[in-house]
């Protein structure tokens, strides 16, 4: 098998895995939002999982040399802000 084909197949498999993780994280956050009085700890954990999945997916897009779609970039920025994390992965403060 040609090495370029292997790279493409590996990259495709990586993206499929990341997209599955992103979909699962989205569905967990959505499910917890629908439950009245959902546990704060579970909701916070689901938000962290979603942020992590978004971060990994965006990193993979960058490694592939592709631009990050605006909606995805904006969603990542929103979840970073909700988590109190800056664009460089550090906690933000009122001065940031």
Q: What pLDDT is stored for residue 69 in this prediction? A: 93
Place of tokens 């954990």: 45
Whole-number pLDDT of residue 46: 87
Q: What is the mean pLDDT of residues 14-32?
A: 89
Please, what is the average pLDDT of the chain? 81
Residue 27 lies in a domain: yes
- Higher-confidence residue of 92 and 31: namely 31
Q: Is the pLDDT of residue 35 over 80?
A: no
> Number of folded domains in the chain?
1
90 within some domain: no
pLDDT at 86 over 60: yes
Place of tokens 């084909």: 5
Tally Cβ neighbours within 10 Å of residue 57. 21
16 falls within a domain: yes
Asked whether residue 94 is assigned to any structural domain, the reply reads no
> Domain span at residue 69?
3-83
| Spatial separation of the C-alpha atoms in residues 12 and 96, rounded to whole Å | 37
């Amino acid at each position: 098998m040609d090495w370029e084909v292997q790279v493409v197949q590996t990259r495709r498999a990586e993206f499929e895995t990341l997209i599955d993780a992103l979909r699962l994280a989205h569905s967990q956050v959505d499910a917890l939002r629908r439950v009245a009085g959902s546990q704060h700890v579970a909701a916070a954990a689901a938000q962290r999982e979603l942020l992590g999945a978004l971060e990994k997916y965006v990193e993979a897009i960058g490694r592939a040399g592709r631009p990050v779609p605006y909606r995805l970039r904006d969603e990542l920025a929103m979840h970073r802000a909700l988590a109190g994390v800056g664009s460089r992965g550090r906690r933000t403060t009122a001065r940031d």
